[in-house]
A = this chain, B = another copy of it.
């Protein structure tokens, strides 16, 4: 049997999706030009660029990301460190991060940080994974030991939703003080006189910002700050239960309760019902964060929505840019960004009841 002559060996390449070479052939240019078009480089004539774009569309070409990161010498691995048990926060966060990471074909590694672990041990785990940068959602974003260790390793990092942005890390936040101010202002505008506040865990930096926003709104409205209307909570449902009991047992109970998160607001709502009070007809209850529990309980909670996905996306972008800058030896300038919150009006707030 004689060989067919042609296809003597041609190794591998059985599957075949279109490659740059295919596109180049169809467009009548070199593969390099195709690459330039894909990477939006400038030195390509408009006519050429259009031809290539056309060919890409015709072949339904999608670049091979493995080849890109191999050839380009850039493959970034971003770690998402979390200790936060709030699953809803995490999933929003993950979705945002994955979108952005997918677009820049960066790899994401999710690492859970148990409390007792030393920051050094954690950093060692990151090294083992060859991590290039780190995403820090709350409350980890405020852990000084962790921040220090990461800084010492020269890893770019971004604090998400921190109340205390450090100067060596990127940060993407919302303005918690202003958000709490806006919510309190909203309650004032609905006619409420006695507005109570349930604080968050005093160890988290955002807690004091939220309290401060509440205070400023009252101050600016010329209201007295009744100390008995500010009760300490720690972000748990249970603490919300206790705080609401305290508030509703007052001789002159509040007509509105602003809880520093939705879990505590949900608890307050449960306590109000237990006291035979209708929400919002007899007492207004509002929360913060817009976690799933806000729409689970009835009545659904009026609350502050943080753009978690957007924050995650933006944080990831910053990290990818930082990795690139570092690779090029450029000094990375640190960005602190503040995104907009949203006041979400649902069913749990109403006008001040007529006495």
Answer yes or no: A123 CB below 8 A from chain B CBs.
Answer: no
Chain B nearest Cβ from A105, distance in angstroms: 8
> When the two chains form their complex, are residues A102 and B107 in contact, meaning their CB atoms are under 8 A apart?
yes
Smallest CB gap from A129: residue in B: B62
Determine how close the nearest CB of chain B comes to the CB of A102; give it in whole angstroms.
6
Contact segment of A91-99, A148-156, A331-339: A91-99
| Minimum CB–CB distance for A262 against chain B, Å | 10
Interface hit among A2-10, A64-72, A198-206: A64-72
- Asked whether A64 lies within 8 Å of B70 as measured between CB atoms, the reply is yes
In the complex with contacts A296-B263, A298-B237, A110-B87 CB distance below 8 A: no
A36 CB within 8 Å of chain B: no
Count of this chain's copies in the oligomeric assembly: 2
B87 touching A98 by the CB < 8 A rule? no
Q: Given A91-B94, A94-B94, A66 and B62 touching (CB < 8 A)?
A: no
Chain B hits for A322, CB < 8 A: none
Complex: how many Å from CA A38 to CA B64?
A: 24
Interface string of A221-264 (1 = CB under 8 A from B): 00000000000000011100100000000000000000000010
Q: How far is the CA of A70 from the CA of B69 in the complex (A)?
A: 10
Contact of A66 among B66, B92, B99, B293 (CB under 8 A): B66
Q: Which residues of B contact A354 (CB under 8 A)?
A: none
Q: Are B102 and A91 in contact (CB under 8 A)?
A: no
Contact (Cβ within 8 A) A237 B297:
yes
